[in-house]
Amino acid sequence: MQPTTITGRIYAEAFRLLEQHPEGLRWSELLAGIEESDPTFHPKTVNGCVWKLVEKYPDKVYKPSKGLFRLLKYKT
pLDDT, tens only, 43-58 = 999 999 999 999 999 9
- What pLDDT does residue 2 have? 62
Whether pTM exceeds 0.85: yes
pLDDT digits (tens, 9 = 90+) for 30-45: 999 999 999 999 999 9
- What pLDDT does residue 70 have? 96
Task: Identify the CATH number of the domain in which residue 68 sits.
Answer: 1.10.10.10
pLDDT higher than threshold 90 for residue 7: yes
Q: How many domains, in total, are found in the chain?
A: 1
Decide if 1 is inside a domain. no
| Residue range of the domain that includes 69 | 6-74
Query: 35: closest CA among 46, 25, 21, 24?
Result: 46
Decide if 49 is inside a domain. yes
Decide if 23 is inside a domain. yes
What is the rounded average pLDDT of the residues 13-37?
96
